[in-house]
Amino acid sequence: MFLKLPEQGISLGLGDRVGLATPGHIKVAKQYNFFPVFAQQSIRELNFTGRTFQDVKKDVEIAAIKENYEDKSGFDGDHLKTDEEIQVAIDSGITMLTLDCSEYMDVESKIKEKVYKQFYGKTFQVKDLALVYTQEELEKILSIYSGVIERIINIWNNFPKVKNKDVSFEVSIDETNIPTDEKTHFLLSKYLYDEGITIDTLAPRFPGEFQKGIDYIGNIEEFKSSLIKHYKIASYFGYRLSIHSGSDKFAIYPYINQVTQGNYHLKTSGTSYLQALKIVAQKAPDFFLEIWKTCLDKRKEMDKYYHLSCDPFSVPKDLKPLEYLKNPNARQTLHVSYMFVLNPNYDFRNRFFEILTKYESEYHMEVAEHIERHVRELGIPERGR
């Protein structure tokens, strides 16, 4: 059932932090024409939820049996940073490896000189983009990214499953504040390509803000023009773009489809957890408000793990439980509340699962409805059309 991602077309990273959301995802995957990645978790998510990659896989397999789903899907070891994490993920049977390079940004590397020589003073033509590298630009790009390039090469050489193309290989450079420009993207890809390294997807940092669980914040025209450039480079080298934190970014969906001509990967992992909170808000409002109070207490701690722009203290105090899920500041905060709600070290977890299992089919409907809205606004056609 778990396969590598397709080289073309649309794939969606769905992800299920709760372990009960996948039947909802399956309902949508059966109806629309995209390649689903039901199993998609980062080490950060696994640590907070006390799960392993094996658990994630198992939960998806159980859901597939329950929903009679025999079609293909992917298994993404998301945002893997260390060699140990990569090995554990590979041993657990991932079919997609998302290499998080953030810790190798601004790091010295041995290849800096070599890359410099390869690009200095040259002009590269990618479709209508003419890319010229001045000394100043090269120094700036390499001071941030030469460590990243070296890291990717090491992973390629040290993990046979990557080199032999047994897993889809995604490079993620999105976890930074500075948007990736076209010269950086091209340089990185060109150098890797010349070294014989092929990737399947790349996640650049796009301009604007991709905050958790809420719509895109920023200049849509700027996003679009950045997307166009990144798409030209990606398709030049033959891989697809990957858009992270893609859930609820309805404002930019039409452009993603249009610019990439239906060739992209988009990750939406955490949003099915918010749908679970919706069930909690409906069925156990007092418990929901307790979760919200804990969010306020833990706001500082959240910052250690996530780039958040929300101010939960600005949220009106007299909201009804369901209204919190519509308030952008509250919604973003709640998106991250899984770090204690699903955490085995807190007593929220048992109560949360008690409610969710009791109303499981309602939960699946909520997940399906929410993801279907994503799929429709992305312009993904129904199957058989």
Catalytic residues: 78, 170
Nearer to Zn ion, 240 or 244 (CB): 244
Contacting range for Zn ion; rule: CB under 5 A; set: 53-61, 173-181, 183-191, 365-373: 173-181
Q: Is 27 in the site for Zn ion (CB under 5 A)?
A: no
Q: How far is the CB of 175 from Zn ion (least distance, A)?
A: 5
Asked if 278 interacts with Zn ion (CB under 5 A), we say no
Question: 230 vs 364, which CB is nearer to Zn ion?
Answer: 230
Which part of the chain contacts Zn ion (CB under 5 A), choosing from 43-51, 66-74, 171-179, 351-359?
171-179
Nearer to Zn ion, 116 or 306 (CB): 306
Closer to Zn ion by CB, 46 or 368: give it.
Answer: 46
Supply 129's token pair: 């983009």
Quick check: 174 binds Zn ion (CB under 5 A)? yes
Residue with tokens 């129904």: 382
* Total of residues contacting Zn ion (CB under 5 A): 2
All residues at 6 or more sequence positions from 40 whose CB lies less than 8 Å from its CB, including other chains:
13, 14, 15, 16, 74, 75, 76, 78, 267, 269
CB 177 → Zn ion: shortest distance, Å?
13
Distance CA 215, CA 204 (A): 18
Residue 83 DSSP label: H
Binders in 230-249 for Zn ion, by CB under 5 A: 244
Per CB under 5 A, contacts with Zn ion among 102-161 are none
CB of 115 to Zn ion, least distance (A): 24
Piece in contact with Zn ion (CB under 5 A), picked from 63-71, 166-174, 284-292, 361-369: 166-174
Rounded to the nearest 10°, the torsion over CA 227, 265, 172, 18 is 130
Closest CA to 5 of 265, 195, 237, 259: 265
Sole window of 7-15, 139-147, 152-160, 169-177 interacting with Zn ion (rule: CB under 5 A): 169-177
Q: What's the sign of the alpha-carbon dihedral 152, 154, 160, 163?
A: positive
User: Helix H segments across 14-82?
Assistant: 22-31, 43-49, 53-66
In the complex, what is the shortest distance from the CB of residue 55 to Zn ion, in angstroms, rounded to a whole number? 22
Least CB distance to Zn ion at residue 98 (A): 8
Q: Least CB distance from residue 170 to Zn ion, whole Å?
A: 10
Q: Please identify, using beta-carbon distances, which residue of 76 and 174 lies nearer to Zn ion.
A: 174
DSSP codes joined into one string, 152-175: HHHHHHH-HHHHTTSSEEEEE--S
Copy the structure tokens of residue 331: 């919604």
CA distances from 344 to 53, 273, 293 (A): 16, 16, 19
Query: What is the sign, positive or negative, of the torsion defined by CA atoms of 118, 202, 169, 128?
Result: negative
Buried b (16+ CB within 10 A) or exposed e, 169-186: bbbbbbbeeebbbbbbbb
- Complex with Zn ion: residue 131 or 202, whichever CB lies closer: 202
The answer to whether residues 333 and 295 touch, using CB atoms and an 8 Å cutoff, is: yes
Task: Give the footprint of Zn ion on this chain (CB under 5 A).
Answer: 174, 244
